[in-house]
Amino acid sequence: MSATQPPIVTFLTDYGLDDPFVGLCHAAVLAVEPRTHIVDVCHSVPPQDVRAGAFLLAQCVPDLPPAVHVAVVDPGVGTARRGIAIRAGSHLFVGPDNGLMWPAAVRAGGIQGLWELADPAYHRQPVSRTFHGRDVFAPVAGHLAAGLPPARLGPALEPRDLARLELPGATVTEDEIDAEVVAVDRFGNLQLPVTGNDLARAGFTPGTRLDATVAGGAWTLTVTETFAAIPQGALGVLEDSFGYAAIFANAGNAAERLGAGPGAGVALRISGRLPH
């Protein structure tokens, strides 16, 4: 981070916006480094859904500037789980050692440094047993934004000691893809761990009709490039803005329509192509 520009701290959490949690985390950063520019990436991760948070954070990393990234989806808060800081490429990640930050760190270039947040000098005091976002992670982020070397936070750790969360993969063959829903966005789109390249490898080109099994139900989907390429209410699959496949209902909610959520199985098979 440049010494001549305000430092950046980003947040991704499951705190929502109905309570003061997010504002208090902002305040804890600014109490340490008032020049900080804060970016709220997302506070709508489903509560305590570490896997969904990990998927969203990894999705967003390519679009994030060099910064300190605070990630908090922390059902183990107050237990023996460690707080950690990870250096990966030009990024520093701060949060719980529960696998939440692992996929993002890998996508950001791999772990180049890892430290336990052990020194209480960089925490807000007293530390609550239930709100480490405010009392540990946000103040640490403020100190890092102000230029504190991460090694001052606590002992260095080995990457092999880090809790890992491997995101679900997909099985891709000619004409077929098998996967599972990783997350559902606010529009009801079902997000899959399937890249645009996976769609191409399977031959899922725009206009292709698919026989789909989603959460045990049988459906017909059309591969498209845009939401509006099919009639309102019709079901489709496309490569979204993050480069991953999403199942959608045009002007509708696919999650409600298909009765599917995170963890639901998805099988897609080519059934035919629409006439041009």
Q: Count the domains in the chain.
A: 2
Say whether pLDDT at 179 is over 50: yes
Q: Domain for residue 1, yes or no?
A: no
pLDDT band (50, 70, 90) for residue 1:
low
Distances (CA, A) of 145 to 42, 200, 232, 254: 20, 41, 47, 40
Domain assignment of residue 2, yes or no: no
Is 203 part of any domain?
yes
Q: Find the domain containing 246 and state its range.
A: 171-273
Residues 99 and 215 in one domain: no
Share of the chain above pLDDT 90, in %: 95
pLDDT score of 183 more than 70: yes
pLDDT band at 274 (very low <50, low <70, confident <90, very high): low
pLDDT score of 3? 57
Across the beta sheet with 265-273, what order do the strands follow?
Answer: 171-173, 176-180, 265-273, 208-214, 217-223, 235-239, 244-249, 190-195, 183-184
Structure confidence at residue 8 (pLDDT): 98
pLDDT band at 273 (very low <50, low <70, confident <90, very high): low
Please report the pLDDT score of residue 272 as a whole number.
64
- Residues 231 and 203 reside in one and the same domain: yes
Per-residue pLDDT of 114-173, as tens digits, reads 999 999 999 999 999 999 999 999 999 999 999 999 999 999 999 999 999 988 899 999
Q: Are residues 144 and 185 in the same domain?
A: no
Task: Kindly state whether residues 157 and 267 are assigned to the same domain.
Answer: no
pLDDT for residue 9: 98
CATH number of the domain at 149, please: 3.40.50.10790
Residues 116 and 13 reside in one and the same domain:
yes
The tens digit of pLDDT for each residue in 201-224 reads 999 999 999 999 999 999 999 999
Number of residues that this document lists for the chain? 276
Mean pLDDT of 258-275: 87
- Report yes or no on 3 lying in a domain: no
% of the chain exceeding 70 in pLDDT = 97
Query: Do 175 and 148 reside in the same domain of the chain?
Result: no
Which of 112, 142, 161 lies at the terminal end of a domain, its last residue? 161
Q: Is residue 77 part of a domain?
A: yes
Domain closes at, from 99, 130, 161: 161
Asked whether residue 276 carries a pLDDT value surpassing 60, the answer given is: no
DSSP states of 150-218 as a string? GGGSS-B--GGGS---PPP--EEETTEEEEE--EE-TT--EEEEEEHHHHHHTT--TTEEEEEEETTEE
Residues 43 and 157 grouped into a single domain: yes
CATH classification at residue 194? 2.40.30.90
Asked if the model's pLDDT at residue 256 lies above 50, the reply is yes
Residue 9 burial (CB count, 10 A): 26
155 plus 175 within the same structural domain: no
Beta-carbon contacts of residue 21 (< 8 Å; ≥ 6 apart): 13, 15, 131, 133, 134
In a domain, 100, yes or no: yes
pLDDT score of 167: 87
Q: Are residues 103 and 150 in the same domain?
A: yes
Residue 82 within any structural domain of the chain = yes
pLDDT value of position 100: 98
**One domain for residues 216 and 243:** yes
Q: Are residues 103 and 202 in the same domain?
A: no
pLDDT at 221 (0 to 100): 98
224 and 248: one domain?
A: yes
Beta bridge partners of 128: none
199/180 Cα distance (integer angstroms) = 15
Tell me the mean pLDDT in the region 52-80: 96
- Residue 229 pLDDT > 80: yes
Domain end residue (candidates: 161, 188, 210): 161
Taking 60 as the threshold, does the pLDDT of residue 108 lie above it? yes
- 213, 197 Cβ separation under 8 angstroms: no
